[in-house]
Amino acid sequence: MARAGLTTERLTRAGAELADEVGFDQVTVSALARRFDVRVASLYSHLRNSQDLKTRIALLALEELATRAADALAGRAGKDALTALANVYRDYAREHPGRYAAAQLRLDAETAAASAGGRHAQMTRAILRGYHLTEPDQTHAVRLLGSVFHGYVSLEMGGGFNHSAPDTQETWSRVLDALDALLRNWPAPATPSTETVTGAFPDGP
């Protein structure tokens, strides 16, 4: 009987498409087999197991995202770069929700080390060059940006912003304005504020 021509790569790509269609956690070895019109057991020659499939989809997504990010950053700096990078994540999540979810999969240390994850941190760090932050503030800022990008995209996709007035695109622009302003004027560590105490009641009532 004719062969289906399965390969790990083809399965991974099809898995990514499936994820975008039905959601990453609905991605199942069975569903993938159905899509290739092949028996389930046949996939186990190409994939170690279900977790292996999911990991491969995650790595694919991280790669795609890193490539898009690198393209977007080329030739840009400052707020222009900030906006471009932020939009890469947001647009990718909208175009490929399943892959974006996959990119959030927790990888074990070795796999993570071999993934495109490191490049993402590097690129976020790159856009900070325009803002003249020095360590450790640079790392703080990298983490903040990652948090905002991921948090915003994740809440927006979850429908958390659908309920009220200003549309989410408007908010997104203003959030990027705000981040730009913040990075241009990164505050020093707050000194534990004693002023309210030293006002009316220097040593308490």
Q: Given the rule CB under 7 A, which residues bind DNA? A: 1-6, 28-31, 38-42, 44-46, 49-51
CA distance 70 to 120: 9
Map residue 69 onto helix, strand or coil: helix
Binding region for a copy of itself (CB under 8 A) out of 35-43, 48-56, 64-72, 171-179: 171-179
Sign of CA dihedral 62, 64, 67, 70: negative
- Residue 192 preceded by cis peptide, ω within 30: no
Tell me which of 30, 42, 139, 169 binds a copy of itself, using CB under 8 A: 139
Residue 189 site contact among a copy of itself, DNA, none (CB < 5 to 8 Å, cut-off depends on kind) = a copy of itself
- Find the helix or strand (DSSP H, E) in which 178 lies: helix 168-184
Is 148 near a copy of itself (CB under 8 A)?
Answer: yes
Is 186 near a copy of itself (CB under 8 A)?
Answer: yes
Is 50 near a copy of itself (CB under 8 A)?
Answer: no
CA distance 188 to 175: 21
Which residue matches tokens 């399943």? 98
Chain residues in the site for a copy of itself (CB under 8 A): 25, 79, 104, 106, 121, 135-137, 139-140, 143-144, 146-152, 154-155, 158-161, 163-166, 168, 170-171, 173-175, 177-178, 180-182, 185-187, 189-190, 193
